[in-house]
Amino acid sequence: METAMHPNADNLLASRFDTVIYDLDGTLIDSARDMCVAVSRVLADHGLPPITDQDARIFMGQGSKITMGKAFAKNGRTLDDIALSAATREFVRYYEADPVSNTVAFDGVAEVVARFSRLGLRQGVCTNKFERPARIILEHLKLMPPITDVAGADTFPVRKPDPRHILMLLERMGGTPERAVMIGDSIHDAEAAHRAGIPAILVSWGYTARPARELGADDVIDRFDALPDALNRLAAR
């Protein structure tokens, strides 16, 4: 349910920020089950047992190749770069064939994204997932629009935690670091944002082995509908 707020609070938020950049997996969406299914299909092809949804949550965040490397390593298998690249391509084929069956937006996401749209804020996604499945998911969940742009792992020559991943997306959207904020769930989101000169708010329920409150963010929220209040706290500083 959307938090009731005084119009002055929204005015403060919109005077400080004009662009909100979100991470995707673990921040806006719970995609662990669909990721787990696709990873486990690749493992089965290699004669290995499946991973769990919780494994998927911990292995995700740095891109598909690192996810696959961790999944094989859990089974005591180390792949060289050529084999790992091939396994990653297998994963992408499986995942892109069905990235949405078990994937949902977290509670409050649709309402907050709609509210920010009404305030005239630009909204984009910066994710280490490939751009095509990210767009498919956002459109399927009716989050795009109001989210208008996506930078995936394959969109630019860099990816998080490289700050240029965020900065290049911002530039393409017509935003500036001075009036932007990053919303994520991991150390890679916080590091990329801070290196880009942008404040970072992390969610406490995300896909990270370390608790969000230990990752140096400017604020941490426990519910997505707490995001407007968190942005107002930042705006008031």
Q: Which positions are catalytic?
A: 23
Q: Are 48 and 72 in contact (CB under 8 A)?
A: yes
Strand partners of residue 30: 104
102: left (phi over 0), alpha (psi -120 to 50) or beta: alpha
CA–CA dist 11, 17 (Å, integer): 10
Is the Cβ–Cβ distance between 228 and 13 less than 8 Å?
Answer: yes
What is the per-residue DSSP string for 195-225? HTT--EEEETTSS-SS-GGGTT-SEEESSGG
Residue 21, beta-bridge partner list: 124, 182
